[in-house]
A = this chain, B = another copy of it.
């Protein structure tokens, strides 16, 4: 009974947009945890605004964002950090979110910082300072706020460069969820044509290393 694998199949659905920066974070976590066979991805087309329909907001994610994880019993987990925390602890051997209180604290701090100072800032720039997902989806834009956030993200790149000048990974000596969040930020930076400043050598070489990691290299965001 316990060794049968023939009936194994996807037990989790991830509502996904394959090249999206946030979905890419969870895709990398799935690959790092070798959960590809347990998950199926269901496309939600951001450019058609399928994540902003009343149905999606009422039944999948109140915040109207991707990705969302749905378990076999219908339980929904939204937010990349929450999904990563769930996937990482499923096997009792967390490798992305830390196994000691100190590791957990530092990883959560650096991942949140990567959201505030880089990924979320670029997302606001995309939705407010560029055409974003187009006029059918971007019903309100505040360009001034968008451009402020672009500048914040550029400062954030310099900050993470200083971090990587003194340690090999964003949260210290090991690859973690915090690295994945910065990768998400740089995926989004490429979409909005925001280059890493050339003086940020440590960030640039870290990103080259990250893009060679199998869990990263195999993502649709890196395949074109």
Do A102 and B79 have beta carbons less than 8 Å apart?
no
Residues in B neighbouring A223, C-beta threshold 8 A: none
Residues in B neighbouring A69, C-beta threshold 8 A: 105
Do A86 and B104 have beta carbons less than 8 Å apart?
yes
* Contact among B86, B109, B142 for A105, CB-based, below 8 A: B86
Residues in B neighbouring A215, C-beta threshold 8 A: none
Q: Is A222 among interface residues, defined by CB-CB distance under 8 A?
A: no
Q: Which chain B residue lies CB-closest to A101?
A: B89
Q: Is A221 among interface residues, defined by CB-CB distance under 8 A?
A: no
CB distance from A127 to the nearest CB of B (A): 12
Residues in B neighbouring A161, C-beta threshold 8 A: none
Chain A 54-90 residues near chain B, CB threshold 8 A: 62-63, 69, 71, 75, 77-79, 81-83, 85-87, 89-90
Do B82 and A106 have beta carbons less than 8 Å apart?
yes
Do A62 and B113 have beta carbons less than 8 Å apart?
yes
CB distance from A115 to the nearest CB of B (A): 10
Identify 7 residue pairs between A and B in the complex whose beta-carbon atoms are under 8 Å apart, listed by A's number: A81-B81, A82-B107, A83-B105, A83-B109, A85-B108, A142-B144, A142-B145
Residues in B neighbouring A82, C-beta threshold 8 A: 104-109, 112
Complex Cα gap A85–B82 (Å): 12
Do A112 and B159 have beta carbons less than 8 Å apart?
no
Indicate whether A117 sits within 8 Å of B63 (C-beta atoms), given known contacts A109-B78, A145-B142: yes
Indicate whether A81 sits within 8 Å of B63 (C-beta atoms), given known contacts A86-B101, A89-B101, A101-B86: no
Residues in B neighbouring A71, C-beta threshold 8 A: 102
Q: Is A148 among interface residues, defined by CB-CB distance under 8 A?
A: yes
Residues in B neighbouring A62, C-beta threshold 8 A: 113, 117, 159
CB distance from A156 to the nearest CB of B (A): 9
